[in-house]
Amino acid sequence: MKMALHYLGRVEYASTLAAMQSFSAARTAQTPDQLWLCEHPPVFTQGLAGRSDHLLAPGAIAVVQTDRGGQVTYHGPGQLIAYPLIDLRRAGYFVKEYVYRLEEALLRTLNHYGVSGHRVAGAPGVYLRLRDPFGHALLAQRPQQRAPGSAAASPDFNGLGKIAALGIKISRHCAYHGVALNVAMDLSPYDRINPCGYMGLQAIDLSTIGLQVTCDEVAQVLGLNLCAILSP
């Protein structure tokens, strides 16, 4: 069943969240999956596990409590949001693989522009080397198989900037929320929070590393990648 793409433009976060929740609650086993691509006006969103101490100084920017996983993040103009509304049971994979596929779509989108994105073990999302965002060397802290019984390593963000965040909600085997890719935005609001719950984690966007592209242009690439990679 083909996923339907919808380009929503710039829409309020709260109304989009309500629409996702309504769609997911009403869908049946026959409902086609959808992919919504959009931007939001400035807003901080706090996940279910979010701690108030990660909101350092929100100021005039609204804080919305939401039902995705994770901690606090920021959305604003110049950031591309992708919300796949997908039936995971019908697609035939579990949450861990779903997260992997979301990250893979982001990595392929960055690669389209010659940018090398990276995964960091224990920290969902996509990261860039600040000094060499176009280099291909592997990260030492990338996800790797651990010896049985060994403890997971703590994420190491030294020298990295986060370019894409990920947060999802699963209800009745169906996923909503999704990913946010920083394209060309005002990054200063990230200084008012501990992004994704990590003190000192730096945010970065494509414009900072010299790529002059728009959200509309990147939406075409990310949309195609998500539709291909999320296919059953």
Q: What share of residues in the chain are helix, strand, coil (percent, to 5)?
A: 30, 30, 45
Task: Give pLDDT, residue 123.
Answer: 94
> How many angstroms separate the CA atoms of 232 and 229, rounded?
8
Under 8 Å between Cβ of 82 and 36 = yes
> How many angstroms separate the CA atoms of 29 and 20, rounded?
16
Angle at 96 between CA 93 and CA 98, to 5 degrees: 55
> How many angstroms separate the CA atoms of 139 and 220, rounded?
28
Fill in the DSSP letter of residue 175. Answer: E
Fill in the DSSP letter of residue 150. Answer: P
Q: Which letter, b or e, does each residue of 89-125 get, where b requires 16 or more Cβ atoms within 10 Å of its Cβ?
A: eebeeeeeebbebbbbbbbbbbeeeebbbbbbbebbb
pLDDT in tens, 186-226: 999 999 999 999 999 999 999 999 999 999 999 999 999 99
pLDDT in tens, 36-74: 999 999 999 999 989 999 999 999 999 999 999 999 999
Task: Give pLDDT, residue 149.
Answer: 76
Strand duo 118-120 + 160-171: pairing: unpaired
Closest CA to 174 of 24, 6, 20: 24
More confident residue, 188 or 154: 188
Indicate the pTM of the whole model. Answer: 0.96
38 is catalytic: no
Fold that domain 4-229 belongs to in CATH: BirA Bifunctional Protein; domain 2 (3.30.930)
Q: How far is CA 55 from CA 22, 58, 61, in A?
A: 28, 6, 11
Confidence of residue 104 (pLDDT cuts 50, 70, 90): very high
Find the catalytic residue in 174, 196, 215, 227: 196
* Every domain of the chain and the residues it spans: 4-229
